[in-house]
Amino acid sequence: MGDKPYSCEVCNSSFTQKSNLLRHMRTHTKEKPYSCELCGSSFSLKSTLLQHMRRHTGEKPHTCEMCGSSFTQKSTLLQHIQTHTGIKPHSCEVCGSSFSVKSTLLRHMRKHTGEKPHSCEVCGSSFSLKSNLSQHMRTHTGEKPHSCELCASSFSLKSTLLQHILTHTGEKPHSCEVCGSSFSLKSTLSQHIRTHTGEKPYACEVCGTFFTLKSNLSQHMRTHTGEKPHSCEICGSSFSRNFTLSQHMLTHTGDKAHSCGVCGSSFTLKSTLLRHMRTHP
């Protein structure tokens, strides 16, 4: 084998040193002799264990000389440096998109192939990214690691926490170019835009009715299924919408918040007041 005298009997890969061959064999045997004493994770290489330990210690020995950012691995630093140089040597052959890191290209390719290699062991859902699977698992565990320091609300995703914080600051950075309305969330702006475009992307598979919001479609589906998940704790009546339940509760409390400006009559529901107003000339 020339200068690589040590060969793998499984895949015929060759190595210059016997120790390299032994490490390589673990890729076939799945042996992971190096374990983390803090969390129990196991690794095939000692170097990988050392890198993993930095997650616990917070150590980031590799620092970017341009911006001061620090990283646990040298390879991550090298990838980061390309964000300063703008070099994107890895291109998608399907759509031409370019990426600074090869691993990002490989993840991008799944958009074209539809590959979802990361599966949930609980419900079988599959995901293209491991990070998406990790986020999904919280729907089963109920874990909400991201907490709001202002009101103590907790969220499963950091992005949801950041959106929630805007409800405290009142900041509305997303503006509608048509009417000037502002929103704290970009997703809310996207939904608002449909009031101008008339777009209704959510279709009922039963009757073909279209809706601007997915939540409206979900409510509509109950007209087909008969589902009424919102129940009155006083009389047991059930309703398909939480709003309808709230209106129903007024029949128990006797609250009549809607008054007629003509004769002073009061009503529990605004819709009843509007019907009443038609009796006045």
Domain ranges in the chain? 6-57, 66-143, 200-281
When pLDDT is cut at 50, 70 and 90, the band that residue 2 belongs to is: low
pLDDT digits (tens, 9 = 90+) for 76-133: 888 888 888 888 889 999 999 998 888 889 999 999 999 999 999 989 899 998 888 9
- Looking only at the bridges linking them, the beta strands covering 42-43 and 62-63 are unpaired
Which residues make Cβ contacts (< 8 Å) with residue 6, sequence separation at least 6? 14, 15, 16, 17, 18, 20, 21
Q: How many residues does the chain have?
A: 281
When pLDDT is cut at 50, 70 and 90, the band that residue 167 belongs to is: confident
Percentage of the chain exceeding pLDDT 90: 36
Q: Class assignment of domain 200-281? A: alpha beta
pLDDT digits (tens, 9 = 90+) for 53-91: 888 998 999 999 999 999 988 888 888 888 888 888 899
Q: How many CB atoms lie within 10 A of CB 201?
A: 11
For residue 200, pLDDT over 90 is answered with yes
6-57 matches 66-143 in fold: yes
For residue 1, pLDDT over 60 is answered with no
Q: Identify the CATH homologous superfamily for domain 6-57.
A: Classic Zinc Finger (3.30.160.60)
The mean per-residue pLDDT over the stretch 23-37 comes to 89
The mean per-residue pLDDT over the stretch 197-219 comes to 92
Q: Report pLDDT for 175.
A: 93
Q: Report pLDDT for 271.
A: 85
Place of tokens 């309808």: 244
Distance CA 23, CA 43 (A): 11
Nearest 5°: the CA angle 111, 163, 241 is 90
Q: Report pLDDT for 247.
A: 83
What topology does CATH give the domain 66-143? Answer: Double Stranded RNA Binding Domain (3.30.160)
Q: Report pLDDT for 176.
A: 95
Residue 211 DSSP SS3: strand
Q: Report pLDDT for 45.
A: 87
Distance CA 140, CA 170 (A): 32
When pLDDT is cut at 50, 70 and 90, the band that residue 251 belongs to is: confident
What is the residue-averaged pLDDT of the chain? 89
